[in-house]
């Protein structure tokens, strides 16, 4: 597996509280947008995301964003 699996061609927008989150980069997790360990055996690993204040996040689910865990609109081209 050399490219991530596209979960969805739009972001998941949700309010998050301060804390540490592990964003799924492989696209295989059953708990999107967060890692559940499904990447084991692939070239991918989760990305650590530190949120310092409560806010709305647009999590990338196409797994092709240049902003890592955060949507940059790349889903429109994949």
Asked whether the predicted pLDDT for residue 1 surpasses 80, the reply is no
> What would the pLDDT profile of 12-39 be if each residue is shown by its tens digit?
999 999 999 999 999 999 999 999 999 9
Q: What is the pLDDT of residue 18?
A: 98
Torsion (CA) 20, 24, 29, 34 in degrees, nearest 10: 30
Q: What is the pLDDT of residue 64?
A: 96
Beta pairing, strands 19-23 & 47-51: antiparallel
Asked whether the predicted pLDDT for residue 61 surpasses 80, the reply is yes
pTM: 0.92
């Amino acid at each position: 597996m050399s490219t991530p699996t596209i979960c969805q061609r739009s972001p998941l927008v949700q309010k998050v509280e301060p804390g540490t989150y592990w964003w799924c980069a492989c696209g295989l997790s059953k708990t999107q947008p967060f890692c559940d360990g499904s990447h084991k055996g692939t070239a991918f690993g989760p990305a650590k995301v530190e949120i310092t204040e409560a806010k709305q996040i647009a999590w990338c689910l196409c797994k092709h964003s240049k902003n890592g865990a955060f949507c940059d609109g790349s889903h429109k081209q994949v």
